[in-house]
Amino acid sequence: MGGIYGTIVESIENYTGLSPTSFIILMAVSIITYKIVCTMFVAVDDYKSVEKMKEIFEEDMKREPVQLGEVTEEQLKEYDGSDPKKPLLMAIKGNIYDVSKGRIFYGPGGSYAMFAGRDATRALALMSFDPQDLTGNMDGLSESELDVLQDWELKFIEKYPKVGVLVKEEDLDSKKAV
């Protein structure tokens, strides 16, 4: 036997002491056993949580965006994804977007979850995950950081419905007084 096949057969026999057929059968049985054992030890709760997340995603896809109008930063925090019955919202440059359809990214456990229920303007401009950057303050941003922010804003405008605007608490109070 020559070539690659011969080398493989010879290696199997030398290293395992088994014939190639026995080796292949042993490998197949090992893989099947591994798969069976793995499925035996998956927690029932894992299946339940997957089903629950699936239901939440389906609800998000059906849910019509709720127009909130003027919202304070404190009120926005209620929409951080901790309550799956509420839409998932975040703000950029004072505009609030319903990002529920992107729950996999912005919802609990998602890569951008810290932005949900917050004004992420500065953090997005700086491409930062520092909680101190979760603010609408754009002071001191460079031209390139403002360009990055503009790109993010355009993505939000194209992908998610605008549902409100951020206002300061005192502005909202003064409007109520009038």
pLDDT tens, residue order, the chain (178 aa): 568 888 988 998 998 898 989 999 999 999 999 888 877 776 655 556 667 767 766 776 677 777 888 999 999 999 998 888 888 999 999 999 999 888 888 888 889 999 999 999 999 999 999 999 999 999 999 999 999 999 999 999 999 999 999 998 776 666 655 5
Q: Looking at domain 66-177, does it have CATH number 3.10.120.10?
A: yes
What pLDDT, on a 0 to 100 scale, did the predictor assign at position 157?
Answer: 94
Q: Judge if pTM exceeds 0.75.
A: no
CB 60 within 8 A of CB 103: yes
One-letter amino acid identity for 20?
P
How far, in whole angstroms, is CA 56 from its chain's centroid?
Answer: 14
Separation CA 87–CA 161 (nearest Å): 12
Q: How far is CA 95 from the centre of its chain?
A: 21
